[in-house]
Structure 1
């Protein structure tokens, strides 16, 4: 995951553009006070899926669990805060800025907030560029990273991990497409969009080459760099599907109601299922508490509520894992 820079007021327009791009049919929902801090699909009606973009997030909360809080290292317990580091400015729904351009929101802060609740700590955000997440963890400045960090074998040499989401790529198609992607043969002869220089491009090229060797048609790969361009291409039928990061695709599908996920594939490729994890400096004593806190969230249902809130139910894990097999060094 590359470094991200803090966005300015243009962020709000970009977020609204993301959820309205496909056929320009999504609508901004207005709250009781007339604000536009919620975005909902056209026709969703009251009580339907709504995306909170404003700074007042009304986050889901949960109770402290004393036995798990007792696992937190004494220095952190005495301080009373959980110093969480993240990198904002990425595409929603991961970690991004609200409509006030200063409040960090998204699925990552929501999960970190729940973990802090279980540990009986006050959550304190530290928003930095991507590279400085690891610099801060190394120095002990930050306790844990919640920033879409994938477990890799190389990172496991320096950090401990407690997983909480799958790291998947997704094929997104116009709603009602009537086909699914389970493997290479399903994209033979199809026109698929992708961003250049990404892992998903590498996957798509590899699949197309495998199909040709088997006597199947190649995949027509179309390259896009702008979100609005590929969603308009989906809406007009110029693309059969777009292959991108699952969180962004799932968020868009849930928020507009105009597309659907027709297949997912591990971001780690065929050899290993990629996983996203809370990340701490190796052997700093915190990871067990994070691991048990995350499993508490899974068991009490608040974890599922947060994922559903951001349209990421398809990235749920049945339980948190401690330092699982990560992406191999040759895959990173």
Structure 2
């Protein structure tokens, strides 16, 4: 690993620890704030350790494991890719500044347990995760990915959470959100290639058609870069996953102006585990998720990371997704 990468990871890990520590203070934890590897917030203890001794596991379910393609069964491992960064509670570096922990890591491992496979974790930014699936380097992506109609042309999905996104603004922001027109003329941070970006681009086109000022989209490399831009008022807001926005705003004094379904008004979007199209794995993954839902381990993972508000009662394969972008 290069010195620059090591330093960057250490900075990211420290940022995640700072976020968690501030969260404990802001929300009035249990008084002791936890140990150096935990933070206690309103009775919920967040494990920051690389060991993750409290991680939720499940026994292998033979009938579901038998659905896994033979090549993967013979290999005995499930290669799962996901985003690494400072976005608690979804994915962030543990106290060793190299192990990625969080809800998305836990869901990947739980799926592997039920399928009787050892999970090998790969890390990358959001766009790199798709490349790893395309190339066959990874079998499964578990990384807060939204089902979209465009993505369904190349990938298969099995849902495991509701997809809600949030508009986070600096604590001293003096504007309010009423509807998409409120974003006209604003500079908003968003991650490239996400459904959040697609939604904002569509709204920008609608605003422009009505003669409103253009919305400027700002792109950075990491969530921590967006948060720095927010704190320095270099952007008016940041649209990202609701779990991390709620988490971050509680630690910093920022505000969440509004939340939406990841599909806007079109439908309730869903987050899903993703495989390459028609590679034969998605049926086993969907049944593994449904087994976890039916037997309580799914709820335990959500509760562990404070995400119970985004639970689903049924895992679905390739449900209606975010509409395709309009061309022309």
| Fold shared per TM-score above 0.5 | yes
Match of 1:12 in 2: 13
Count of aligned positions: 298
Whole-angstrom distance in 2 between the partners of 1:124 and 1:116: 9
Whole-angstrom distance in 2 between the partners of 1:289 and 1:114: 13
Aligned structure 1 segments of 4 or more residues deviating by more than 6 angstroms: 181-185, 200-209, 257-262
- Bigger shift: residues 165-174 or 81-90: 165-174
Whole-angstrom distance in 2 between the partners of 1:300 and 1:293: 11
TM (normalized to structure 1)? Answer: 0.72
Whole-angstrom distance in 2 between the partners of 1:136 and 1:173: 33
Match of 2:142 in 1: 146
Task: Please state if 1:92 is matched with 2:88.
Answer: yes
In structure 2, do the counterparts of structure 1 residues 155 and 183 end up closer, same or farther at CA, with 3 Å as the change threshold? same
Whole-angstrom distance in 1 between the partners of 2:188 and 2:167: 10
TM (normalized to structure 2)? Answer: 0.73
Task: Please state if 1:133 is matched with 2:134.
Answer: no
In structure 2, do the counterparts of structure 1 residues 317 and 134 end up closer, same or farther at CA, with 3 Å as the change threshold? same
1:170: how far off?
3.1
- Bigger shift: residues 142-151 or 109-118: 142-151
Which of 268, 271, 279 is the matching residue for 1:276? 271
Match of 2:110 in 1: 114
SS in 2 for 1:161: strand
Whole-angstrom distance in 2 between the partners of 1:55 and 1:309: 16
In structure 2, do the counterparts of structure 1 residues 166 and 306 end up closer, same or farther at CA, with 3 Å as the change threshold? same
Which of 241, 245, 249 is the matching residue for 2:245? 249
Which of 315, 318, 321 is the matching residue for 1:323? 318
Task: Please state if 1:69 is matched with 2:65.
Answer: yes
Match of 1:302 in 2: 297
RMSD: 4.1
Whole-angstrom distance in 2 between the partners of 1:40 and 1:205: 41
Cα shift readout 1:225-249 (whole Å, capped 9, x = no counterpart): 753786899xxxxx9x986420202
* Structure 2 unaligned residues grouped into runs of 5+: 171-176, 213-217, 219-224
